[in-house]
Structure formats: C-alpha cells, structure tokens
Structure 1
Amino acid sequence: MNPPILQLQNVSYTYQGDTPALYHADFSVYGGERVALLGSNGAGKSTLLLLCNGVLAPESGQVLLNGQPVVHKGQSLRQLRQTVGLVFQNPEEQLLGASVRSEISFGPMNLGLPQDQVARAVEDAAAAMNVTRYLDQPPQYLSGGEKKRVTIADILAMESQVILFDEPTASLDPGHTDLLEVTLAQLHEQGLALVVSTHDVSFAWRWATRAVVVTGGQILRDGPIEEIFSDDALLSQAGLHKPELFAVSQLLFPQLPPAQYPRTLEDFTRRLQP
C-alpha cells in the first residue's frame, strides 16, 4: 500500500471553555479511498474534518501531509489546504465570490498561478461539476444542490487530492441524495480520496469501503465497513444502527461473507432471483 496522503497522529483539540471535542485521534487517508466517518451529532466528526483541512490546529499531536509535519502557517498550511479540500455542510458558509467564476478562481489565484492557467482550471472544474452555465451568475441565487456543486468545483480547481464532506446528505431528499452519490462516483473515478462524515448508515453502506466510528470525541474503530456493521456492541456504544439492507442480508444470506452483502436495492433484488 502507498503511504497516506494525510495523517493525524495522537491529535487532540478542545474548544475554548469546553470539554475536549477530540482527543488522541489517529487517522489516515490514502489515495483513492472512500471513507465514511460515522457518529451521532456532536460526536467529533466535524472537528476531525476541520483538523484535517487546517481550519483548526491541534493543541497536541501533529498533522502530516505526505509524511511531512504541517506547520499551521505560511506555505505549509497553504499546501495542506490545497491538497485537502473541505466542503461544509452549509455551502453558504464558503461562497464568497460575486460570481461563480470569481468564486472558483479564488483558490487558483491565491496559489499564484498564471491567469491563463487559472482560467483553464475554472473552466475544467465548472465542466466537471456541470455548473458552466452559471459561471457569470451570483452563486447566492443558485439552488442548494447547485451551490454544493460550486463548492466542489472550488476544490477541483485547486487540484486537491483529498475532498472532505461534512454531512452532505443532511436535509437532502432521496432524489438529491442520489445526485450526490453520482457526483461522488465521478470524483472517485478521477482518483480522488473522499471522506464523508454522516449519520446516514444506509448511504454509508452503499458508498463507502472503509468506516471510522467517532463518539464522545474518540475514534472507537477504523476498518472495513462490513466489519463495522457486523459489530453489534460497537454500534450500540456509538448510538448507531445497522443499515436495513445489511441487517436483512444477515438473515437471508447467512452463507455470504458480509463483504459480499448487496449494497443497493437493485443488487438485493438480483440476489433473490433464482
């Protein structure tokens, strides 16, 4: 296995005047991974993502990028934020440009890229996220799903290797969740590592290959997602439940190893056919 792009080693963080939000966390991200961060609200998932992207600096422990310790200032911090992009739960929090074009160009311009290279990066990222027709419109007037795609285009224009998503399925109806999964599949096909924080276990089972369980500011378990959902005691401790499809598969397909359980309703239906 190739070395990780990103590592957190024994990282702790406490918000001012509060109990520790995350402590003694070890976490790594490898190229091309699909990782689900699982845990209830307030478990520490968002804090973990903010530490991964450099929005927060650890009070103890260290963050490593391609094996090198990150100094949370100057070029070291800029390199971390270029390599590891973060999509907030609410896209309004990161849309600052007067137009979609200026919004997407902000990152490449801050990297000091030549103007023609910036323009090319903007066009490529907008096309990848299907927002080209909005380039000259104010992002504030777009729909929620369109805003989300613009924030992802922001990161693609920076040529990031890792994209973090904080609760992207929150408040989405099933149709928009399906569109999100299509977008995630497209990003994965480009070779990007994707880390998604979620409490939607059914989405996690459909999409992820690895799961990290966070509760009470601690990482309880990190491993293949089928092993996570097979551990009843772990799920109970973390306040999680099994995906319905996983639970039914345990009953109907006891001969199968969990890694071969169907991930989608279509796969499940095919398994039932004689």
Structure 2
Amino acid sequence: MFAAELNGKIPTSLQNHEDVLTSSVVGTFQYLSSPTYIQSLLKSCVNIMETQLTFASSFKECKFFFWPRLEKSEPDVLIHIQDEKDRGYLICIEAKYWSDKSSKEDLSVDFEERKNTQRDQLAREIEDIHNSENLRLLNIKKNIEETYLIYLTNHTSMPSKEMADSIHLINDITFTQEQLYWLPWRKIHNFINELVHFLTPQDAKLLKDLKSLLERKGLQSFDGFRNRHHIESVSINGYTYDTASRLSSWDDIQDVTEVVREYGRVTY
C-alpha cells in the first residue's frame, strides 16, 4: 500500500481516506528497529495547557493495535508501552485528515438514552481506554500508570475547543486536560526532516519514504525560502526589480527603489 501511494496507484476514492493515511504513517513506526523513534515523535504532542508530552524513562517495548473494537468506540490506534523501569502507558490515537469527530454529543437526548452515535467520539474513546474489560480483551494485563489520548489532525492551530468539549463530556472517568494531547500531521514530517542519525539503513529508507508520502499529501510545514532559486532580475512594466539569486530568509530580499505614484505622475 505504501509503495502504491507513493507511485499514485491508489484509487482516487482512497487517497484522502483517513484509515489508509493512518495505516501508512503510524503503521511505519511499528516496523522501525527501536521504540526510540515513536517516543521522540510523541514528545511533539502538546496538551491544552501547551505542555509537551514527556516520559520518565526510555521505551523498552511498544505494541500497536489498529482499529480495536471496544465497547463504545473503535479508535484508530492504541499503543501499549513498557518503559525500561517496567512502567506501563496506554496511548490512544484518534486521527483526522479532513473530517471532524465522527459523532458529537446530542444534549437533546437524556444521557441514559443516548446511543454511541449520539455521544462525543473522543469522550467515548477515553471512557473505553479506562475500561478494564476492554484491556483484558486486548490482552493488556500489566498495570497502566498513565493513559493519554492524542488527537492527530490537520488543523493549522490546536482545536482547543473541540478537545475541551470532549473532556467535559466524559462520564464517570477522571481524565484531565493534561492527558489530552494534540499532534498535527505536519509535526511528523518535521520530526523526520530533523533526524540526523538513523539506527539502521532500513529505518532511514522507511522514514525517507514516509517523508515523501507526507509531502505528496501536503502534510508538511512551510519551510521558508530555503534552497529556493529565483531569477536575479525581473522586469515589469519597464521597471526592473532585483532579487536575491538564492533566498534563505526574508533578509535576503534586496530593497527595491521606492516608486511613488501621484495622480498619474511617477516619482523616485
């Protein structure tokens, strides 16, 4: 599927499909040689309080569950993590590409009567990942010390209101704003772009292909004028404007002589 996407062989109907994107992007990290990569990426997440996600110790093992069917929901990814001190973490990832939450809270219906489709999607998922029976069915037996939900979206700024609304709609579970994090897709591209060393050649190949896929889908940040080539002079309507032959920042743009137009008269 990965190669097909990179070579434009995916049917149009699937190109913007969130599940395909999630599988290609998040799925890549489970095949890398070390959980160091996913741990480093997760540090790019920030919560509503604008605090980065941190961990006390290095990851030892990560187990990925894609689209697990839980009692009230089907989150995109669950990651069960054990660190080097045998502390357990459970991270739920809900990924959105162009869509919003699949369901929102219908306050016109009494809570006891609301169906899953009438409940806030993130609230349902948070309730599910705290349900011991759900964890048992996934064979997650070790104690979980911390539980987080990561909202992976294509927003240009944090969807704080959406996230806060979900927290307020959680039922019978203690879950704070500090536990709900946001990660924009473009941060994954940034993370790969900033990597200098790879643990294995295969890691380098996988992450290079993933970076290309994100660029193909436009999921990268604007990188300024780095390595952009420009014509040194441009003539418009008889006036010549000089530009830098190679722009790496706004400071590289040379000043243009001021042109003042006063009632049809041009002065310099």
> Do the structures match in fold with TM over 0.5?
no
Query: TM-score, normalised to structure 1's length?
Result: 0.31
Greater helix fraction, Structure 1 or Structure 2: 1
Larger radius of gyration: 2
